[in-house]
Amino acid sequence: MSYAATATPHLRAVRTLPNHNHSLPNQPLDAEYRRVAAPAPMTRPAPAIAPESLLAGLQDGAAVVAALPQSVLPQGLLAQLGAGANSPLVGYLVLVPAEKVAPAPAPVVAAAPVRPFTRPAESGISVDLDRRNAYVDGALLDLTYLEFELLAHLTEHPHRVHTRDQLVHTVWGYGHVGDGRTVDVHVARLRRKLGAAYRDTIVTVRRVGYKYAPVA
């Protein structure tokens, strides 16, 4: 029986390197020759020792953990330090304890001073702006928010004439939609609550507005 006839068609002979250290014959190798080479063993670089000058200047709790070659250092920093082939530099990675930053103190907001309570006058109109109270001859008046604002503004500026538009902007605000008749209505209500003795302290200035004239 012929081995050539029964040989498996897809198998081919491959020559390999001998295990000894003899030199290879000086002859061309065919396309099937493969050179098998073991990878070089990995070597760990020896740990760099930081200079004493660096170690002496470290703060408590700091430590040098690694040396950084010049190839991994920022180029801009190397250029500033004048690093080159003749003057290579080595960097060191230093871990330092994080600084504990004290939180900023909360701002102290001074409370607005409250004026001491003063008893209302036994006669006349008295206005307490802090407590938003108005009195007539010492008796407390029952006023709405706008009535109090109107009376407080008028009594704060005695004898000054205020136009209706000025009163609308000051008491009702610039966003109020209305006209001078709103002021007339509130003045009429305020006069009724002041009573017959003091209703005339709010004086009508024809074709202009109103003013407050305290009783002499």
12-16, 22-26, 52-56: range with lowest mean pLDDT? 12-16
pLDDT tens for each residue of 171-203: 888 666 666 788 999 999 999 999 999 999 999
What backbone torsions phi and psi does residue 126 show, to the nearest 5 degrees?
A: -125, 140
Dist. CA 55–CA 213, nearest whole Å: 86
Q: Does the pLDDT at position 147 exceed 90?
A: yes
The most distant pair of C-alpha atoms in the chain lies apart, rounded to whole Å, by 150
Determine if the pTM surpasses 0.85.
Answer: no
Q: Which candidate, 93, 113, 127, places its Cα nearest to that of 214?
A: 127
Q: What is the mean pLDDT of residues 165-171?
A: 88
Mean pLDDT of all residues belonging to the chain: 74
